[in-house]
Amino acid sequence: MQMPNEDPSARAPELGCPAPTIRLKTSLLVPMADEGEIPITASSSTVAGMVEEIGRRGGMRLLQADGELINFLDVRLNGTKIDLHPLRLATPLSAGDRLLIQLVPIGGG
């Protein structure tokens, strides 16, 4: 049974139960991510897919045309910089993963 205002793509189709989620922490303003729980869908099942989804929700582009992160963006999966994961942005997400997406502060003086 679908709940009112529920995104049907956010449900695991094989069982009709809620899709697995990750915990998101970000310095970006992202609509519909207030509680930090983001469902893993077919299009957001990797770090790159989730970063793209978060950017879409926030109205910004977080990946360059070549699929790499934009400059000054720090992405960590379960506390480890994504560049240190063997599959980098292609790393699959699992239920309960913690994803950090934040702009790296830069400045001068």
| pLDDT tens-digit map of 12-21 | 444 456 778 8
pLDDT band at 109 (very low <50, low <70, confident <90, very high): low
Could you tell me the pTM of the whole model?
A: 0.77
* pLDDT (tens digit per residue) in 29-77: 776 665 678 889 999 999 999 999 999 988 889 999 999 999 999 999 9
The number of beta carbons lying within 10 Å of the beta carbon of residue 44 is: 21
Which DSSP string corresponds to 72-99?
TEEEEETTEEGGGSTTGGGPBP-TT-EE
Say how far residue 60 (Cα) sits from the centre of its chain: 13
**Domains parsed from the chain with CATH numbers:** 20-103 (3.10.20.30)
